[in-house]
Amino acid sequence: MIRTQKGMLLVISGPSGAGKGTLANLLLEQDPSFRFSVSATTRKPRVGEIDGVHYHFMDEESFLKKVEEGAFLEHAEVFGNRYGTLRSEVLERIERGENVLLDIDVQGAAQVMASGLPLVSVFIMPPSIRELRARLENRGTETREQIERRLSMARSEIAQAEHYQYILVNDRPPKETAVSLRAIAEAEKLRTIRCRVEIED
Ligand code: 5GP
The C-alpha atoms of residue 147 and residue 165 are separated, in whole angstroms, by: 28
Selection from 85, 103, 117, 110 nearest residue 7 by Cα: 117
pLDDT tens-digit readout, 32-52: 999 999 999 999 999 999 999
Q: Which residue has the higher pLDDT, 74 or 146?
A: 74
pLDDT at 198: 83
Scanning the chain, the segments in alpha helix (DSSP H) are: 20-30, 60-69, 87-95, 106-114, 129-139, 144-158, 174-189
114 pLDDT higher than 80? yes
pLDDT at 7: 93
How close is the Cα of 187 to the center of ligand 1, in Å? 26
How close is the Cα of 104 to the center of ligand 1, in Å? 5
pLDDT at 11: 98
C-alpha separations of 177 from 68, 170, 184 in Å: 39, 6, 11
- Mean of all residue pLDDT scores within the chain: 94
pTM for the whole structure: 0.94
pLDDT at 141: 84
C-alpha separations of 52 from 10, 88, 196 in Å: 20, 13, 34
pLDDT tens-digit readout, 6-35: 899 999 999 988 899 999 999 999 999 999
- Residue whose Cα lies nearest atom 22 of ligand 1: it is 108
CB 134 within 8 A of CB 89: no
- Residue whose Cα lies nearest atom 16 of ligand 1: it is 104
CATH of 2-198, one of 3.40.50.300, 3.40.50.720, 1.10.286.10, 3.40.50.800: 3.40.50.300
3-state secondary structure of 156: helix
Q: Which one of 9, 11, 36, 39 would you pick to mutate in the ligand 1 pocket, going by the greatest count of ligand atoms within 8 A of its CB?
A: 39
How close is the Cα of 64 to the center of ligand 1, in Å? 17
pLDDT tens-digit readout, 149-196: 989 999 999 999 999 999 999 999 999 999 999 999 999 999 988 887
Cβ < 6 Å from ligand 1: which residues? 16, 39, 43, 74, 76, 78, 83-85, 103-105, 107-108
